[in-house]
Structure 1
């Protein structure tokens, strides 16, 4: 695809590798300073752990300022794009984060697909459904950096109203080049060396033999009650259910119980939601305001009994090696209840879509 010919991974350049090593070192030293400073009650060390990342971030900002000014001078370009899919990924206020898959159709290069996330106001959600044509801004040298233009110029607004865009093939999906093994390795080495430098410097105070202030223990370690606890919070706009570290919402019947606990005693209107987000230990529900004309659904319609099997299928059949995390999002933006399971791993991200009955409707393997 012509637009990607100028895209070159930048994470293998010497400057980027050095930056990765320094970032890891600063992170490790800062975390170690906070922990060690708190344990040995060393106030200057603790403060240094707070100030160090701030100073490093400021240094990176100043160092990267010439590059950002150079990129800004090149400017971004405006184009039309068609929404292929839209999934709400959370939100607690009037603006809902929505993950879009777009077909971007520049005037001078072939159309391509890209994934992006934008905060969409509740009242504007009906204008951002699949098939709608919107105005976007993109960078030719970084085509994966696409943002929706909230207030396009009149001529672009007119073009969007009249345009018809064909879907680009899924194979044209553009993503940011991965960081690579060398960058991650140096980041890890810097993290370990930074933490070791602080710990070894204060090892005398940290591992001293002063035990006079420690009362003798008359019993063994006690079990934490939070490992089997369930915490429920609910307000007018957001409800959450969290389980302890010894539990998972994928345990048999646990997710259905969480839905029942969160909606117990509520009237039907009060159970209407904009989106549901589920992770290993936390379920979040964004409830729909009763006076807002937006698409909503009953939380009890969630196919909670099928979610564990869908997550397992997404983790094992979509080509994600050594999955590091997963998330389930449920919304009604497309006109029917949509369940999306997203799985991330070292080789990329994959997703699996299902309907209200938990039947798989689409698979997007890792690339």
Structure 2
């Protein structure tokens, strides 16, 4: 094969390469979208399809390439001499070290050319390879860039290498594997987007029915009161979660939330009521003999903002991160505890059922 010096192989932009890139991108996009959408909408067949699709495509790609690999394996490699222009070990901790070689290859029936390869060399043999040393190489006639150093050449080629002298090929005569071009890359990207879009659009109705909180619809449908809060009620407890930008210290938020949790429960008492920035939790008293409890509708919610302000500013917590109000009636009357946590530690204050502070414990107190 005659090699024209200074002219690298042209970029490969065949329709087959573009189609292969599009198909590969489509499989990747479809698989990823199927895994994500299948998990969100709890569609097990879709999720399994996303996992199996790339495996099946990889197997099909392997089988389709077997004839080509068989043809390449049947090609008799060409043997030539090559001079080491430069070499560098590029890593590896095993007995074979990857070494990057820059070679000048001198075929017997064509002009010399340069090529860069990486090949594993045993540590014991590494000292046999040095700049300007001559080695025996082999390469397929139709792919001169796939050069491999022959570690154990025949006596004839070993003798030729020992006595050979030739000049370096110019850098303009470098040969490299042909580029696939930009076309296949664009096709793969377009296929990825198209595959993902097909899956998402096919299941858009299921996706739109999913609640933003990720809770099963059966658990929240009976008690969702607005698009910016979520209410969940069971026989033993109830919670209200506010959306972003809202707080239970805002006027009327606590009264509205407690009303949702106690609707239809006029005589039901609560064991504890816990209020955080955007979360209200009520644990109801069990049915039967009533333990000490409290009426969650009778708490002094109008005093809560002032109690939180005092706890976050007057108890030594300079950088408050979280606060929590706990109401219970374990001994005697209703008791409130406002705790606040920051980088300095935790502090709290206690108040009675009317919201009057009865005790303050500063950080470290």
Match of 1:46 in 2: 47
Residue 93 (structure 1) shift: 1.9
1:101 and 1:116 in contact (8 A); partners too: yes
Aligned to 1:115: 116
Classify 1:39/1:123 alpha carbon distance in 2 versus 1 (closer, same or farther; 3 Å): farther
Secondary structure at the aligned position of 2:65 is classed as helix
Q: Do structure 1's residue 22 and structure 2's residue 43 form an aligned pair?
A: no
Q: Unaligned regions of 5+ residues in structure 1, if any?
A: 221-367
1:189 match: 190
In the TM superposition, 1:238-249 aligns within 5 A as: none
Deviation, structure 1 residue 116 = 0.8
Change (3 A) 1:41 1:152: farther
Distance 1:180 1:156, change over 3 A: same
Deviation readout 1:272-293 (Å, 9 max, x if unpaired)? xxxxxxxxxxxxxxxxxxxxxx
Instruction: Confirm or deny: 8 A CA contact 1:84 1:167 kept in the other structure.
Output: yes
Any idea what SS the aligned residue of 1:83 has? Answer: strand
Mapped pair 1:81 → 2:78: no
Counterpart for residue 302 of structure 2: none
The answer to whether the 8 Å contact 1:2/1:109 transfers is yes
Aligned pairs (5 A) from 1:170-319: 170-211=171-212, 213-214=214-215, 216=241
- Alpha carbons of 1:217 and 1:41: their partners in 2 closer, same or farther (altered >3 Å)? farther
Aligned residues: 220
Distance (whole Å) between structure 1 residues aligned to residue 193 and residue 12 of structure 2: 20
Given the superposition, is the C-alpha separation of residues 7 and 130 from structure 1 closer, same or farther in structure 2, using an over 3 Å criterion? closer
In the alignment, the residues of structure 2 paired with residue 140 and residue 4 of structure 1 have an alpha-carbon distance, to the nearest angstrom, of 14
Contact 1:112 1:173 in 2 (8 A): yes
| Alpha-carbon spacing, 1:208–1:11, altered in 2? closer, same or farther (3 Å) | farther
Q: Shift in Å at residue 213 of structure 1?
A: 4.6
Matches within 5 A, 1:134-145: 134-145=135-146
SS in 2 for 1:204: helix
TM-score by length of 2: 0.54
Give the Cα separation in 1 of the matches to 2:203 and 2:155.
64
Q: Distance in 1 between matches of 2:97 and 2:185?
A: 32
Q: Is the 8 A contact 2:8 2:176 kept in 1?
A: no
Describe the superposition over 1:286-319 as per-residue Cα deviations: whole angstroms up to 9, x where unpaired: xxxxxxxxxxxxxxxxxxxxxxxxxxxxxxxxxx
TM-align CA RMSD: 2.9
TM-score under structure 1 normalisation?
0.53
Deviates more, 1:21-30 or 1:37-46: 37-46
Tell me the CA shift for residue 192 of structure 1: 1.0
Question: In the alignment, is the contact (CA less than 8 A) between 1:3 and 1:140 conserved in 2?
Answer: no
Q: Retained in 1: the 8 A contact 2:41–2:210?
A: no
Deviations 1:197-234 (A, max 9, x none): 222223334443324655958999xxxxxxxxxxxxxx
Determine helix, strand or coil for the equivalent of 2:198.
Answer: helix
CA–CA distance in structure 1, aligned partners of residues 142 and 106 of structure 2: 15
Contact 1:25 1:192 in 2 (8 A): yes
In the other structure, the counterpart of 1:2 is 2
Query: In structure 2, what is the equivalent of residue 34 of structure 1?
Result: 35
CA positional deviation for 1:8: 5.9
Matched with 1:56 is 57
- Partner of 1:103 in structure 2? 104
Shift of 1:190: 0.9
Q: Take 1:4 and 1:59, find their aligned partners in 2: how far apart are those partners?
A: 37
What is the SS of the residue equivalent to 1:176?
A: coil
Q: Give the CA deviation at 1:58.
A: 2.1
1:177 alignment partner, SS class: coil
Q: Following the alignment from structure 2 to structure 1, what is the Cα–Cα distance between the partners of residues 198 and 100?
A: 41
Deviation at 1:130, TM superposition (A): 1.6
Q: Is the 8 A contact 2:11 2:181 kept in 1?
A: no
Deviation string 1:165-190 (CA, Å, 9 cap, x unpaired) is 32111111111222222222211111
What SS class does the counterpart of residue 103 from structure 2 fall into?
strand
**8 Å CA contact 2:134, 2:161 repeated in 1:** yes
Q: 1:156: Cα distance to partner?
A: 2.1
- Cα pair 2:113 2:169 within 8 Å, conserved: yes
Say yes or no: does 1:13 pair with 2:14.
yes
| 8 Å CA contact 1:83, 1:101 repeated in 2 | yes
